[in-house]
A and B are shown apart, each in its own frame.
Chain A
């Protein structure tokens, strides 16, 4: 199981990893991306879904989602 799969996501936008005791503050879109990654969606799929939902260009999303995934990896969650 990947650490990201162990995260408990609550309604206050806190992601808690009960195995190691770390907590992460996330925002709504970050939560959506975390859930999508847990569902094994590809980066491209995630970007396409968010482009449909939010008022943002695909180019900007590519940068932001790539950055977000980088940080998730740096935190050792993925």
Chain B
């Protein structure tokens, strides 16, 4: 006699308050069986689990959407790919092929960009810490140096002496744009005249020439109007220094910070409601330039968008290793990916999808990672059906920052795969092994 199909036994107390006109949390399941036409089960079988997966199609869609929002409103726009958001070489190449230059904040990223064939003139060198030796190389190679502080300004003057040339630089400016918290760590403050004084100091020295103004007002900016404020202030400073010092400011750079459709913890509404659109950001910035421009020539507009161009193109596939019942009744799943790979889990609630529909009703569950650490929690409260060992969960959006900030802690860092526009997957980063971890140890 053939045996009957087995379903895990489930018992759930009926909470009448849980049902509403929007549906029942006991029945709802989010399913993702494939990414760009490639089955998640095939990806895990071929490349292992956990696995970062990136969609080239989605990257290009996000890029074109944002770029078109700006280029349809403004004649001279240039994107710089924010390396820190995701500096996997193949990801950087996708952005460079789309037309992005590089935006880096460290010598390591600078070297990465150069190794990818990006010329110095096509690299924006930001960041509060630029070691002298690396700053000099960047100057010699014609990189766009964005001066962060007076020590760096002094270093640049010394480099100008050593090289016997005047150096063109841009200045980083921070300001009140009406948002909280105000980012005042990067560059010179606008309101208290620090930025103007720094420019004056630059011209008094006679070794540097200002040709750009930059700001990076924050991250995950939910108010497009903040960019309008930033643009107005940058344009005011531009006009003032052009008048006072006879300089020609070729470009302004509004930095990054555009939000992706990630779900911020503590925010009730869906990201579809709370996140400004590409058009919102573009309109805020370009209208302000047109309104404020007093010069014959419009400045070139640089943007260093990272998160909004990659976050939704990245997925993390993770598998159920087992489960246990906690004393409070919650079911705790052990996954093979945890906070070691999901740095942004501190701030965002991920979209968590199952590889197929599972029978049975949902019950309150918790998703824990593989680390022997109590803090290794991916999702503290989630309604899930009884999942089998080996069930693949897809977490998204995780394209921004998670790979670059993934910790080498206890477990090997996983492989990363790119699915190209033809729907073909390929490894762009192999899984770490003991040699990777031990490399350079003596």
Q: Which A residues form the contact surface with B (CB < 8 A)?
A: 14-15, 22-30, 32-34, 52-56, 63-65, 67-68, 70-72, 74-75
Alpha-carbon gap, A74 to B3, bound state (A): 31
CB of B8 closer than 8 Å to a CB of A: yes
Alpha-carbon gap, A4 to B26, bound state (A): 23
> Assuming the A-B contacts A25-B361, A27-B360, are A71 and B5 also in contact, with contact meaning beta carbons closer than 8 angstroms in the complex?
no
* B residues near A64, Cβ cutoff 8 Å: 8-9, 386
Can you give 9 contacting A-B residue pairs, CB < 8 Å? A14-B14, A24-B11, A24-B14, A25-B12, A29-B9, A54-B4, A55-B5, A67-B324, A68-B10
Q: How far is the CB of B61 from chain A (nearest CB, A)?
A: 41
Contact yes or no, A29 B8, CB < 8 A: yes
Say what secondary structure dominates the interface of chain A: helix
CB of B7 closer than 8 Å to a CB of A: yes
Contact yes or no, A27 B325, CB < 8 A: no
Alpha-carbon gap, A17 to B311, bound state (A): 48
CB of B164 closer than 8 Å to a CB of A: no
Say what secondary structure dominates the interface of chain B: loop
CB of B327 closer than 8 Å to a CB of A: yes
Contact yes or no, B10 A55, CB < 8 A: no
Alpha-carbon gap, A67 to B7, bound state (A): 14
Alpha-carbon gap, A32 to B324, bound state (A): 22
* B residues near A25, Cβ cutoff 8 Å: 10-14, 26, 361
* B residues near A75, Cβ cutoff 8 Å: 11, 13, 329
Q: What interface size band does chain B fall in?
A: 20 to 34
> Assuming the A-B contacts A27-B360, A53-B4, are A74 and B10 also in contact, with contact meaning beta carbons closer than 8 angstroms in the complex?
no
* B residues near A33, Cβ cutoff 8 Å: 9
Alpha-carbon gap, A69 to B329, bound state (A): 11
Q: How far is the CB of B271 from chain A (nearest CB, A)?
A: 32
> Assuming the A-B contacts A27-B9, A54-B6, are A71 and B14 also in contact, with contact meaning beta carbons closer than 8 angstroms in the complex?
no
Contact yes or no, A24 B12, CB < 8 A: yes
Among residues of A, the one whose C-beta sits closest to the C-beta of B16 is A23
Contact yes or no, B7 A28, CB < 8 A: yes
Alpha-carbon gap, A27 to B385, bound state (A): 12
Contact yes or no, A68 B4, CB < 8 A: no
CB of B348 closer than 8 Å to a CB of A: no
Contact yes or no, B11 A15, CB < 8 A: yes
Q: How far is the CB of B60 from chain A (nearest CB, A)?
A: 44
> Assuming the A-B contacts A27-B360, A67-B325, are A22 and B13 also in contact, with contact meaning beta carbons closer than 8 angstroms in the complex?
yes
Q: Given B3, B11, B14, which contacts A55 in the complex, CB threshold below 8 Å?
A: B3
Among residues of B, the one whose C-beta sits closest to the C-beta of A53 is B4
* B residues near A28, Cβ cutoff 8 Å: 7
